[in-house]
Each structure stands twice: as C-alpha cells, then as structure tokens.
Amino acid sequence: MIVDLSPLNCPVLFVKIISEGSTRTEKKIVKMTIREAQKIVDAWVTTTGVRYFNELTNMTILTEEVGELARLMARTYGEQSFKDSDKNRNLGDEMADVLWVLICLANQTGIDLTEALEKNLKKKSARDTSRHKENEKLKG
C-alpha cells in the first residue's frame, strides 16, 4: 500500500518508470522538513503499520537500530572486517531506520522535533560558545 502524501502538502515529484514494456507513475518526495517527516511517518504508521508499537517497545527497537548502525560503522570506518551478512548493508538506510524509530517515539510522546531541535541548538550555542575553540584536544 502506498500512503497518499497529497493531504500532507509535501513537495513531491512524479516519476515515470518504464520497465519490461509497462509504465507506471510513482510519487517521490523531493524534500521534507522534520515536521513533514513526522506527519508522513504518522500517516504510514496509522495506515500501513496499523498502529504504533508502545513507547517501551519502540525504545527497544531504537536501541536495536542504533546497534545495527554501530555495527556497520565499525566495519566501514573502524578496524573490524565485514561478515558476509554485513556486506549488503547501506549506511544511509541504517541511519534512516534510526531516524524512523526516533520520529515514531516523538510522535507518540507529543514531541515536535523541529521545536525540540531549535531549542537544543540554542542551548548548545549558548553553553558552548568558546568551549570547543579552547579545547586543546581539538587543535591541529
């Protein structure tokens, strides 16, 4: 099932796909804000996914997804070698899995991530104005 994004007013691009003699048109999201992402995830969860898992289950799933991302990072950028089961993993897809579950948690707990991120950036900017510039460990 494809979620209809038109009621969400998300910018979409219609892409014509031609393969093996058949033609179909798909909607592709061009770009979205964090707030739009929260709406899209909610629409998907409440239609295709039926309902949200409870918060504790989603927190556990988030931990699992972060672990999968960590595993791929360790093999891609760290010293661990790839196992056959890791070779077809995609770093962007693993990050998107983490983001997806985080958005689910935000939606079900009533957090506007755009607002939360804006507040968090202000907090960090005020707190860390010179902290990193003065950190000897970060100097060349």
Which H or E run includes 26?
strand 22-29
Tens digits of per-residue pLDDT, 25-74?
A: 766 666 789 999 999 999 999 998 899 999 999 999 999 999 999 999 99
Residue 31 φ/ψ, nearest 5 degrees: -160, 160
**Which class does domain 32-127 fall in?**
mainly alpha
Q: How far apart are CA 4 and CA 44, in angstroms?
A: 9
- Please state the separation of Cα 126 from the chain's center in Å: 27
DSSP letter assigned to residue 25: E
pTM across the whole model = 0.77
Q: How far apart are CA 48 and CA 82, in angstroms?
A: 34
